[in-house]
Amino acid sequence: MNTPSIDKSPWTISADSMTPTLEVVLAKQIVILPWNQFVYAEGGDDEVRIAFASHDVIVRGAGLSPLLHAIPGYRLASIREVARQELFSTSEMRFIREIEIRRFKAE
């Protein structure tokens, strides 16, 4: 079970096991998506798209390749948007600048 992230790391990757959900921590909400609804992922170092049956998660930043490599084994446990003030104070080469979540609506 994932718990809300309280550290400053922009993502958490489980080193030893699969996680049942992906926790997406935004400024005003937390979204939990089950890996059993995962469809596919694509992207590169500056943008990663993670598609679920009900949502698309678009992650923008720098140095995001580790996220993409952790997805096939469902080891990516959480991602966190960097607060605006952290974005300007970081010297890290890996960071998440923006997370966009698109919810699919039934018609």
* pLDDT tier for residue 60 given thresholds of 50, 70 and 90: very high
- 96 touches 80 (CB < 8 A): yes
- The answer, yes or no, to whether residue 92 has pLDDT greater than 80, is no
The ranges assigned to domains in the chain are 11-103
41, 48 contact by CB (below 8 A): yes
**pTM summary value:** 0.83
Predicted confidence at residue 2, as pLDDT, reads 41
pLDDT confidence tier of residue 83, bands split at 50, 70 and 90: confident
